[in-house]
Structure 1
Amino acid sequence: MRNQGNRERRSMEAEVEAAKKRCRELIEKIDCLDVATIKSNCKHTLLKLAHSEFSFLSRFPIHLASSQPLSVNLGHLEAIVYILQQPFITAVSRVCKPLPLSFSSKHKTLSAAASLNSIHVHIVCNLNKNPVWVIVSDRNPNYITWHSNNKTKGLKSRIQQVLDAAKSTNTLRPYSIILFFSNGLTIFNHQKLKDEFGASKLALEFSDSDFDFAEETEGEWVHVIPGMYKEACVLEIKVDHVVNNVISSEHEVKDSFLNVFPPEHQGENMNPNLGSSNSFSALLSQMKKVESTKMEDFSHDDDFINFDTTALIAIVSGISNGCAEELLNKPEVELRHRFKGNYDFVIAQAMSELQYPIHANLRAAVSGKRGIICESVLSEFKELVLMCGGANEKHRADQLLKCLLVVRDSPSERLIGLPTTRKLALKNKIVFGTGDYWRAPTLTANMAFVRAVAQTGMSLFTIEHSPRALTGN
């Protein structure tokens, strides 16, 4: 009996140590998640959960192994992090936290959702430019029941509740619900999801972007893919057949194009080298040329990038175009007189530019993309350049605008549906909402607005850049 007890103890010790090792590896993976994809508060939530698991394992009473089996949530957290590592996942705004619901009047009759103030989904993000909610399960597929019983809520009830919640809100409504069963799904449950909810296999391949171990072959170390999710079943349930905030017809796309420049003033006649830095010319050359606004010259698969006013100013600013060092060499008295209360702001930007040149940092974001701006941004940008820009900055502004499509202010229903507050100003909802309508990330330095949107639980695809000011160059 004593020998058997010792064997059980050693076996449990080994199991606990293996789980602690997985915990440490999981924490490392969370730390390495791209900050451009996942918000810092989401990483904090994941780290808190992972550290909690590690603390539990560190306190686990080995001597009670026979009466207290090892039960951890590691597999579930690992699956969530695996999903977050995928390149097609962007704009992660919420992870493992309840999503607050605001009901639209036309959906108040949905009984399953009406009694809820929030819904628990595991990831709120964008998948291939569309907002989605992700539900993750690492349970043994044989223990996932379709109908509810005394011990557990059935899969049918869980999915129905999530769908009702999704349809009950305009602002947070996802394009689809993604179901990730890391250990697979029984044929019965798979067929039920297909028949009753229209679930279909997600038309994307998940990649093993993470390598967990290596082995030696003929004197050389080679990476081995663990294949943890070879049995995984990934399904998609469309919330609506028609989603209002996604381009849904050729007529809508065509009507949204509004080019403010006559054809002879577009792309081919621009001369970005005149009065401009080499980095400015190189940046513009990375974008797709705007040579026409005819609908047949564009496809629904075109990659667009939406510029807000901060992005346009940053690109044409003298600070970004070779004047940073010159500014820093000028007498402080002269600069304080020139920039007044903005002195510290401008100096900090000039120092940042010398260390992190903004044109070089933006090149990857705009490469191969068609740049768009809405009418509101065009108007504000022109006004600022006219008032504060120098001759070179004005020239660069003209050249930049010739590379961009100007579209009508057409904010998506979900963005414009957010309550207008000091932090969620109407003008910003229009600018970012137009990018959302075009399924385009918005390039911006307005992180206060981005944070305010994230706090609502909405996933919004944005790309952050460092601010730059006009200097009169």
Structure 2
Amino acid sequence: MDDPDLSSDVPSCTSEEQIEAEKRRCTKVRDRIERLRIPDPCKRTLLRLVDSELRFLSRLSLSPNTSSPICVNTGYLETVVRILEQPFISGVSRVCKPVPLPRSSASKSVHVDIVCTLNKSPVWFIVSDRNPKCVSWLGFQKQRGLRARVEEVLSAARSSGTLRPDSVFFFFNSGIAESVSQGLTAEFGALDVSTDFSLLGLDVSEDHDEDWVHVHSLMGLHTQVFQLNVDCVGGGASRSDFGVAGMVSGISGDGVVSVPGDAFSSLILTMRPAISEASVCEGETINFDTTALVALVSGISNGGTERLLKMSELELASRFKSNSKFVMDQVKSELQSPMLMELRHVLAGKSGIICETVNSEFKELVKMCGGPSEKLRANSLLRHLRLVPDQPSARMMGLPNTRKIALKNKIVFGTGDHWRAPTLTANMGFVRAISQTGMSLLTIEHTPRALTGD
């Protein structure tokens, strides 16, 4: 949880065999870190920590027969890695890093073990592998109690801006005393969600050791998990927020267009129409940015590759100007991985939303660059989506405007963040820029496609 709190004790009379066992344990943790699907900076942080443990144990092995117990962080690192291995954890943006505290605080920062997304909400994890006997509520002697620690974490969470979570999870791998548990629930309204996590975290990863397969469960025998809700202002969506805007109107006044049997119509029909407040609130919702809408209606995605391949270089240059290579690269990409097939499993059973900024930008693009078929598909697609107001989340708007983090993109992705909906996008430059700020953001990547005028 905090640097003094991370460690756990190895029994006294530390033998060379016990030290070697700890080193093997560290090596296995290192292997699991290498397999994690998290950003490289987060992976490097974990590798640096486990390598530090290995160096410490190597020094210790030079004089193994010590009479006092040693403190190692292996159990703590194992717990952090087990959490990161869970399929319900996404959008990991920071691992084992400090988060600044308000200037009025005595300390400058607070240690947060994981900044990520859980159930479409930004959350923090604070992890402890300490012996329950060493975790007190009010503290003793010179050691701070957990109460002061919780107050600091909540203070950092509420003042954090871009990293601000909806909830903070305190994950006690070895459990805590009843008096400490009562303090969390009585004074901070914490919820004991240990049962929920035990149901979610079964059989998460495998270590292959000769002919044996070792399966790691998220929850140990005594593990306890508590959730503290942060008093976020304007961070969440509620049913009363819907109803400001209804279904998106078409590009023209023409009727709904659908070509039975074609891949585009088939894909759209797999989606759940967002025709009511409830259909958006039920959770299976995707926020579309302009790149996603263009990709869906593009002639490249809808059977136009063969005709484009038959065009001469002169025809391509005349039609697409300096973008002809860009377009032909997309044609090759489409032949290798058809866009509509790629998105079918992403969109099936989901409802879609777009904000006002995307709606107006997409309509203007199609009007200027789209051909007759692309306009018909755009009209049909827009009628299947729900228009919501530009309503970016406070944490997204808290980011400063830069060349890579433009206001328009903050509005588009921030509106998805407001509704707890992942944004379908090909704008990976913006996604990378957000990741570099440490913010956890729900996004789904697709390959880009351009309008062809078909």
Common fold: TM-score over 0.5: yes
Counterpart residue number, 2:72: 72
Match of residue 266, structure 2, among 267, 282, 286: 282
Q: Is contact 1:98-1:120 (8 Å) kept?
A: yes
1:233 aligns with 2:224: yes
Give, in angstroms, the shift of residue 181 of structure 1: 0.5
Map 1:138-157; keep pairs closer than 5 Å. Answer: 138-149=129-140, 151-157=142-148
Match of residue 33, structure 1, among 26, 33, 36: 36
Deviations 1:33-75 (A, max 9, x none): 33xxx33322332233334434444554343442685543221
Q: Which SS does the other structure have where 1:318 is aligned?
A: coil
Give, in angstroms, the shift of residue 271 of structure 1: 4.6
Q: Is contact 2:201-2:217 (8 Å) kept?
A: no
* Aligned equivalents of 1:86, 1:204: Cα separation in 2: 13
Counterpart residue number, 1:185: 176
Give, in angstroms, the shift of residue 142 of structure 1: 1.0
What code does the residue aligned with 1:27 have?
R
* Aligned equivalents of 2:320, 2:107: Cα separation in 1: 52
Counterpart residue number, 1:23: 26
* Aligned equivalents of 2:181, 2:348: Cα separation in 1: 41
Match of residue 322, structure 1, among 291, 298, 303: 303
* Aligned equivalents of 2:336, 2:57: Cα separation in 1: 44
* Counterparts in 2 of 1:18 and 1:354: CA distance versus 1, 3 Å: farther
Q: Which SS does the other structure have where 2:99 is aligned?
A: strand
* Aligned equivalents of 1:226, 1:168: Cα separation in 2: 34
1:273 aligns with 2:239: no
Deviations 1:130-172 (A, max 9, x none): 2111100111111112234555332111111111112224443
Match of residue 456, structure 1, among 431, 434, 437: 437
What code does the residue aligned with 1:388 have?
C
Counterpart residue number, 1:204: 196
Q: Which SS does the other structure have where 1:403 is aligned?
A: coil
* Aligned equivalents of 1:444, 1:259: Cα separation in 2: 21
What code does the residue aligned with 2:246 have?
L
Of the structure 1 ranges 59-68 and 188-197, higher mean CA displacement relative to structure 2 is found in: 59-68
Q: Is contact 2:85-2:205 (8 Å) kept?
A: no
Match of residue 427, structure 1, among 390, 404, 408: 408
> Any stretches of 5+ residues in structure 2 without a counterpart?
1-10
What code does the residue aligned with 2:21 have?
A
Give, in angstroms, the shift of residue 196 of structure 1: 1.6
Q: Is contact 1:99-1:457 (8 Å) kept?
A: no
* Aligned equivalents of 1:172, 1:405: Cα separation in 2: 29
Q: Is contact 2:14-2:69 (8 Å) kept?
A: no
What code does the residue aligned with 2:237 have?
I
* Aligned equivalents of 1:221, 1:66: Cα separation in 2: 33
Give, in angstroms, the shift of residue 313 of structure 1: 1.0
Q: Under a length normalisation based on structure 2, what TM-score does the superposition of the two structures give?
A: 0.86
Of the structure 1 ranges 414-423 and 230-239, higher mean CA displacement relative to structure 2 is found in: 414-423
* Aligned equivalents of 2:230, 2:298: Cα separation in 1: 44
Q: Which SS does the other structure have where 1:122 is aligned?
A: strand
Give, in angstroms, the shift of residue 439 of structure 1: 1.1
Map 1:117-196; keep pairs closer than 5 Å. Answer: 118-149=109-140, 151-196=142-187
Match of residue 358, structure 2, among 340, 354, 377: 377
Counterpart residue number, 2:242: 253
Deviations 1:90-138 (A, max 9, x none): 221111112356x6xxxx7xx33xx555432111112111211110011
* Aligned equivalents of 1:471, 1:16: Cα separation in 2: 65
* Counterparts in 2 of 1:254 and 1:117: CA distance versus 1, 3 Å: farther
Counterpart residue number, 2:3: none
Q: Which SS does the other structure have where 2:126 is aligned?
A: strand
* Counterparts in 2 of 1:348 and 1:368: CA distance versus 1, 3 Å: same
Q: Which SS does the other structure have where 1:63 is aligned?
A: coil
* Counterparts in 2 of 1:456 and 1:211: CA distance versus 1, 3 Å: closer
Q: Which SS does the other structure have where 1:348 is aligned?
A: helix
Match of residue 284, structure 2, among 288, 292, 303: 303
Give, in angstroms, the shift of residue 319 of structure 1: 2.0
Q: Is contact 1:258-1:408 (8 Å) kept?
A: no
Counterpart residue number, 1:353: 334
Quote the sequence identity (%). Answer: 50
Q: Is contact 2:405-2:434 (8 Å) kept?
A: yes
Counterpart residue number, 2:234: 244
What code does the residue aligned with 2:259 have?
N
Q: Which SS does the other structure have where 1:321 is aligned?
A: coil
Q: Which SS does the other structure have where 1:410 is aligned?
A: coil
How many aligned positions are there? Answer: 438
* Aligned equivalents of 2:100, 2:435: Cα separation in 1: 12
* Counterparts in 2 of 1:119 and 1:335: CA distance versus 1, 3 Å: farther
* Aligned equivalents of 1:123, 1:238: Cα separation in 2: 16
* Counterparts in 2 of 1:31 and 1:465: CA distance versus 1, 3 Å: farther
* Aligned equivalents of 1:225, 1:458: Cα separation in 2: 28
* Aligned equivalents of 2:50, 2:304: Cα separation in 1: 47
CA RMSD of aligned residues (A): 3.1
Deviations 1:210-230 (A, max 9, x none): 3546899xxx98876667623
* Counterparts in 2 of 1:253 and 1:141: CA distance versus 1, 3 Å: same
Q: Which SS does the other structure have where 1:146 is aligned?
A: coil
Give, in angstroms, the shift of residue 455 of structure 1: 2.6
* Aligned equivalents of 1:32, 1:22: Cα separation in 2: 16
Give, in angstroms, the shift of residue 243 of structure 1: 4.0
Counterpart residue number, 2:15: 12
Q: Which SS does the other structure have where 2:266 is aligned?
A: helix
Give, in angstroms, the shift of residue 420 of structure 1: 2.1
Give, in angstroms, the shift of residue 182 of structure 1: 0.8
